[in-house]
Structure 1
Amino acid sequence: MNSVNTRPQRLIIGISGASGAIYGVRLLELLRDTPIETHLVVSKSALITVAHETGLSLSDLKPMASVCYANQDIGAAIASGSFKTLGMIVAPCSMRSMSEIASGVTSTLLTRAADVVLKERRRLALMVRETPLHRNHLRTMTDLTELGAIIAPPVPAFYALPKTLDEMVDHSLGRVLDLFDIELGIVRRWRENDTGTGASSDTGPADDDHAAS
């Protein structure tokens, strides 16, 4: 009987130049001790943002990932659809990277890898970081949604009653990992432990609008 080779679960992590570098850094930390292989690519602009916001350099990021690629390496494994992955998370995702991915005219490994994920019909989650948004931003997000991408801005979930910024970051990342069916126990889920009494011991109060209706 022939044995079946079991491929490792691989997840591509892209860090682009938007503010919010902690999302990409923390994502690597959370996945480091799991069976999931993380394949990291960091844009040139992201290196500046990572250094400014976290004090880390590329040499600090590399050990956090299973594999790290140069953003100019368009011949890397993640540039090919034959390299099987669960998909890709871009955390954070800049407007420039988002626009390149939407157009299909990709000039870096980060955006090429995202394009590959889309063409292979795998899951692509973009943690876009920009506000306010103008018409072209919104139209680009619509185009990407129609292509199959998921626009997942890191919006704080105040119903989880976070006490620190770290808890807010972890919750946002946990919700994005939910899209890949990856459970790390970092999401405080609404009414998951509700006993049916109308109250939940581990969540915030009900929405006032709903309560009043």
Structure 2
Amino acid sequence: MSSRRLIVGITGASGAAYGIRALELAQAAGVETHLVVSRSALLTLNQELGLQKADLAGQADMIYPVADIGASIASGSFPTIGMLIAPCSVRTMSEIATGVTSTLMSRAADVALKERRRLVLMLRETPLHLGHIETMGALTRMGAIIMPPVPAFYAKPQSLDEMITHSTARALDLFGIDTGAVKRWSGLKDALAEEAT
């Protein structure tokens, strides 16, 4: 059993591939993964990736029903390095910000905050109205990190898969998980020198 445990949440926002890639990268890095998937995420996983609920078996060390408020990850006594929600819907973000813990998803996130553990939300919404922005501000003050999956074009991605991997690996960086999948910025000087040769 790994000494590092990461909770991964997948909500119904577009971008289900971020959650699946997070599980793959974390497990490859030797991190024990605990997965919770919202009901609407099951629809998105099918729509975007062609995955059914049964296909999630084996994607994580433990998978919990979203209604299982009695799960181990619902308690602060269960040690983890934190929680990544990828992608994170506005609904889930809002529940966390207001302390509403109606599902295991929002309860596990609330636990991460109260235990002062890392909570990273890969928010998938655009454009944003003032309510969204104020909610993000409130969560930031509470200790969460808001990390929309913005492509790093300096890495010169050649495919959608590369963009997904880079963004997800950068999110895992925030937990101290080095997946080896991030194309690190080496400085503009090096980049210009490379172009000149």
With normalisation by structure 2, the TM-score equals 0.94
CA drift of 1:199 comes to 2.1
Residue 28 of structure 2 contacts residue 179 of structure 2 at CA under 8 Å; is this kept in 1?
no
CA drift of 1:54 comes to 0.2
Deviation string, structure 1 residues 144-182 (Cα, Å, up to 9, x no partner): 000000000000000110001111011101111111111
Instruction: Identify which of 21, 24, 27 aligns with 1:26.
Output: 21
Instruction: Identify which of 154, 177, 183 aligns with 1:188.
Output: 183
Q: Report matched runs for 1:50-69 at 5 Å.
A: 50-69=45-64
Instruction: Identify which of 119, 126, 132 aligns with 1:131.
Output: 126
> What runs of 5+ residues in structure 1 fail to find an aligned partner?
1-5, 206-213
Please say if 1:200 is aligned against 2:195. no
Q: Is the helix fraction higher in 1 or 2?
A: 2
* Matched position secondary structure for 1:59: helix
Q: 1:202 to 1:147 in 2, by over 3 A?
A: farther
Amino acid at match of 2:106: T
Instruction: Identify which of 88, 91, 95 aligns with 1:96.
Output: 91
Please say if 1:73 is aligned against 2:68. yes
Identity of aligned residues (%): 60
Q: 1:35 to 1:105 in 2, by over 3 A?
A: same
Instruction: Provide the C-alpha distance between the structure 1 equivalents of 2:75 and 2:14, rounded to a whole number of angstroms.
Output: 28
Residue 189 of structure 1 contacts residue 203 of structure 1 at CA under 8 Å; is this kept in 2?
no
Deviation string, structure 1 residues 65-95 (Cα, Å, up to 9, x no partner): 0000000000000000000000000000000
CA drift of 1:204 comes to 8.3
Instruction: Provide the C-alpha distance between the structure 1 equivalents of 2:194 and 2:34, rounded to a whole number of angstroms.
Output: 34
| Matched residue, 2:163 | 168
Residue 38 of structure 1 contacts residue 66 of structure 1 at CA under 8 Å; is this kept in 2?
yes
Deviation string, structure 1 residues 79-123 (Cα, Å, up to 9, x no partner): 000000000000000000000000001100001000000000000
CA drift of 1:203 comes to 8.2
Instruction: Provide the C-alpha distance between the structure 2 equivalents of 1:94 and 1:203, rounded to a whole number of angstroms.
Output: 40
Deviation string, structure 1 residues 19-44 (Cα, Å, up to 9, x no partner): 00000011112223332110000000
Q: Which structure has the bigger radius of gyration? A: 1
Q: Report matched runs for 1:141-180 at 5 Å.
A: 141-180=136-175
Q: 1:108 to 1:28 in 2, by over 3 A?
A: same
Q: 1:204 to 1:107 in 2, by over 3 A?
A: farther
Aligned length: 196
Instruction: Provide the C-alpha distance between the structure 2 equivalents of 1:204 and 1:173, rounded to a whole number of angstroms.
Output: 27
Instruction: Provide the C-alpha distance between the structure 2 equivalents of 1:56 and 1:159, rounded to a whole number of angstroms.
Output: 31
Q: CA RMSD in A?
A: 1.9
Instruction: Provide the C-alpha distance between the structure 1 equivalents of 2:132 and 2:146, rounded to a whole number of angstroms.
Output: 12
Instruction: Provide the C-alpha distance between the structure 2 equivalents of 1:120 and 1:155, rounded to a whole number of angstroms.
Output: 28
Residue 16 of structure 1 contacts residue 90 of structure 1 at CA under 8 Å; is this kept in 2?
yes
Residue 95 of structure 1 contacts residue 128 of structure 1 at CA under 8 Å; is this kept in 2?
yes
